[in-house]
């Protein structure tokens, strides 16, 4: 699927939801526990499939998972048990580089 920055996506097999922070223009296969993420407000039904027991590393709320080479970055808004992956490769946890509070 082609992703859009700002889009909210859910996992059909666990509680994970993410927001797309950055995405390339290309078609990507983005999955959680091996099953494709989908946009519940997009009108399409949830993809079928069972969670892959080998892809259950889990995610944490508020953390970003990214593939910098592809230019894909997802922010977890609700955590879950599955592993986030793109085109079969697990996404890496992005390190924090917060700025000093300035407001």
User: Whole-number minimum distance, CB 50 to another protein, in Å?
Assistant: 26
Q: For another protein, which is the closer residue by CB, 1 or 19?
A: 19
Residues 54-83, one symbol each (x = binds another protein by CB under 8 A, - = not), give -------xxx-----------x-xx-----
Please report, for residues 39, 50, 66, the alpha-carbon distance to residue 7 in angstroms, rounded to integers and kept in the order given. Answer: 8, 24, 15
Q: How many residues bind another protein (CB under 8 A)?
A: 18
Distance CA 73, CA 65 (A): 6
């Amino acid at each position: 699927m082609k992703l859009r920055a700002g889009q909210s996506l859910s996992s059909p097999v666990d509680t994970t939801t993410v927001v797309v922070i950055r995405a390339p223009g290309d078609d990507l296969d983005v999955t959680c526990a091996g099953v494709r993420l989908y946009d519940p407000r997009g009108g399409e039904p949830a993809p079928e499939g069972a969670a892959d027991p080998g892809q259950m590393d889990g995610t944490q709320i508020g953390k970003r998972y990214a593939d910098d080479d592809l230019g894909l970055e997802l922010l977890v808004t609700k955590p879950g048990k599955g592993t986030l992956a793109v085109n079969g490769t697990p996404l890496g946890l992005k390190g924090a580089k917060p700025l000093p509070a300035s407001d």
